[in-house]
Amino acid sequence: MEGDRLSRILGELSAGGGGRWPSARLCEVAREIIGVSGAGVMLMSGDAPGGSLCTAGGVSTLIEELQYTLGEGPCVDAFRQDRVVLEPDLAHPGTPRWLAFTPQAVEAGVRAMFAFPVQVGAVRLGALNLYRDGPGPLTDDQHADALVMADVIARWVLDVQTHAPTGTMAQELEQDADFHFVVHNAAGAVSVQLGVSITEALIRLRAHAFGNDLPLREVAEDVVARRLRFQ
Amino acid sequence: MTREADVVQSLVELATTLVDDYDVVDLLTGLADRCVSVLGAAAAGVMLASSDGGLRLVASSSDAMRVLELFELQAQEGPCLDAFRTGVPVEQQDLHAGSGRWPRFSTVALEAGFQSALALPLRLREKTIGALNLVSAERTPMDDSNVLVAQAFADLATISILQQRATVEAQQVNEQLAHALTSRIVIEQAKGVVFERAGVDMSEAFSRLRGYARSHNLHLTDVARSAIDGTLDPGAWDPAPPSARP
């Protein structure tokens, strides 16, 4: 049974062409095979969102970006709590959670969210995010597919990184994943502008983004273009 | 308890050791002990291949067995070594001092009171990672049904060891990735610092960081950290003199 799922997923991944699959293919296949509106893979850095490996479908980029900006959401919980996070009715959740994330996700048209840890054994890398534009739970079949897909993604990341020269990030990750480097550029600049630490500068950037209802990336781009200064 | 119940319980106990952070030595000592208590071997021992490809003694059910296996490694002859090299079970009934396949091993084994020996590979598909050694005070080492059970114990131990190694490797790769990402982030932050202090664009900020690292023979990441801490001299980000330029 699990073997069938795995071969179906691997077959689908290879359908795009031979050789190593680009990371974008991982999210596309997750979305198609599991049958949801969108999919995204968040890689974590320490305990916080580090970047997006890929996104596919509708507003999935926005969903990833929201979780990155706010530092909360289903995939952050899935990673930190090391478990599957299921929210079949985001607009009317059983337990209110993600107070900043939820209203914005609902406004973007997301009605259900599911996050699966991306890990190999005890080695945790991030989480696979799935969302749907209608409410309702995943079927058992979709759930099982998502678990296998998360496993394939974890092995893909470790496999490409295994072949990277020591001290460097695999080229596939460097090129395809989005680690929001512009946000770190901006944090450096803002730390000088305000005479504060980088950590403090990041908090100020996040607060500005949240207060003005803007993605963190947009705020960072304004700083780097010298359109915005923090004094 | 019946033998069957003993075997089942042993398999269950060996399988439980696979959970979380078990110790390979504990696992293999348990394996050796069970070969004695459940399968009636006089003694048992386990050897594992090390990174240089040679075998190392990891567990023994008794001191006499430990001495015998250390001798086997020193003399470079004996059932464990053969099972490891060939990947198939090796059996020697009725050992004779100073003769047979392993003349020196046989002499020492007989002195310790062992009359026969059997070694089973710790093997998964084409990969052999070590061997399980069983000795008996009788002239025949073990009946066939017990050999099958011993091989099942050995297979379980093999799978658990390979599984644990894969996890350790994954951990290392993940740490390398985390390290590479952190270095990269520190450099991006430092670019932002120089961008602001020197009033240059990001790509020029990077050139100056790299220029400073080269001319002072420092790692880029260390220079980046100093830039963020503000521990570099204020003039550090001025355009480098032509001679220091690459």
Same domain, A193 and A220: yes
Q: Please list, in sequence order, all residues whose beta carbon lies within 8 angstroms of the beta carbon of residue B2, skipping any fewer than 6 positions away.
A: none
The residues facing B132 across adjacent strands are: B46, B120
Q: Across the A/B interface, how many CB contacts are shorter than 8 Å? A: 95
Asked if the B174-244 domain carries CATH number 3.40.50.20, the reply is: no
Q: Is residue A231 one of the residues assigned to a domain?
A: no
Q: What is the CATH number of the domain that holds A111?
A: 3.30.450.40
Q: Which residue of chain B comes nearest to A155, CA vs CA?
A: B170
Question: Distance, in angstroms, between B112 CA and closest chain A CA?
Answer: 44
Domain spans of chain B, in order of start = 3-167, 174-244
**pTM greater than 0.90:** no
Question: Distance, in angstroms, between A137 CA and closest chain B CA?
Answer: 31
Which of A21 and B82 is assigned the larger pLDDT?
A: B82
Same domain, A162 and A209: no
Question: Distance, in angstroms, between A135 CA and closest chain B CA?
Answer: 35
Nearest to B161 by CA among B182, B130, B191: B130
- Cβ atoms of B136 and B113 closer than 8 Å: no
User: Chain A contacts of B170, Cβ < 8 Å?
Assistant: 120-121, 123, 158
Q: List the single residue in A124, A161, A168 with the smallest CB-CB distance to B173.
A: A161
Same domain, A59 and A140: yes
Same domain, A29 and A141: yes
Nearest to A204 by CA among A108, A216, A88, A166: A216
Q: Which of A127, A144, A171 is the last residue of a domain?
A: A171
Query: What domain range includes position A199?
Result: 181-224
Calpha distance B142→A70 (Å, rounded): 66
Q: Is residue A144 one of the residues assigned to a domain?
A: yes
pLDDT digit string, tens, across residues B182-202: 899 999 999 999 999 999 999
The residues facing B221 across adjacent strands are: none
Place of tokens 């069983």: B134
Q: Is residue A76 one of the residues assigned to a domain?
A: yes
Same domain, A92 and A192: no
Rounded to an integer, the average pLDDT of A6-23 is 74
Calpha distance B50→B58 (Å, rounded): 10
Same domain, A142 and A196: no
Q: Is residue A176 one of the residues assigned to a domain?
A: no
Same domain, A192 and A164: no
β-bridge pairing B127-136 and A48-56:
unpaired
H/E element, A127: strand A123-132
Given 3.30.420.40, 3.90.1150.10, 3.30.450.40, 3.40.1280.10, which CATH number is that of B3-167? Answer: 3.30.450.40
Query: Which pLDDT value is given to residue A107?
Result: 93
pLDDT digit string, tens, across residues B138-176: 887 678 888 888 888 888 888 878 877 888 888 888 889
Calpha distance A114→B59 (Å, rounded): 47
